[in-house]
Amino acid sequence: MMESAMVEKTVLALPGKKVSVPRALKRVLQVGLAAGLTAAVMLIVMLGNGLLTGRGASLQGGITTWLAFIKRPDIYTTILLTAVVTVLFVYWQRDRERR
């Protein structure tokens, strides 16, 4: 039986095992992970800023501020666009190095 549309597979490294997945799925997962990590870093920066400035900021206030910031469509779009461009650039550059 022929594989449907000859989907190009690649290896996705997960903790403790490696899984063969379609290349497009791997890139989508990498973009999602990069966007999530960016959001987490922004949370740490905003919480740190609140603690360092000492304006009576609480942990709950910092998280509320972060949620208001991260839910803005322009911020969310910028994070996703940056992640997509970065993942595609890394793959493009790696393909060029192999030639």
| 86, part of any domain | yes
Q: How far apart are CA 47 and CA 12, in angstroms?
A: 33
Query: Which domain does 35 fall in, by range?
Result: 22-98
pTM above threshold 0.85: no
| 59, part of any domain | yes
| 4, part of any domain | no
Nearest to residue 48, comparing CAs of 31, 33, 66? Answer: 66
pLDDT at 58 (0 to 100): 73
| 47, part of any domain | yes
**How many CB atoms within 10 Å of residue 93?**
9
Nearest to residue 75, comparing CAs of 30, 33, 43, 29? Answer: 43
pLDDT at 1 (0 to 100): 46
| 79, part of any domain | yes
pLDDT tens digits for 20-73?
A: 999 889 999 999 999 999 999 999 988 887 777 766 667 778 888 889 999 999
Dihedral-angle region of residue 4 (phi above 0 means left; psi in -120 to 50 means alpha; beta otherwise):
beta
Residue 94 clears pLDDT 80, i.e. is over it:
yes
Nearest to residue 70, comparing CAs of 98, 33, 42, 49? Answer: 42
Number of structural domains (the chain) is 1
For the chain, how many residues are written? 99
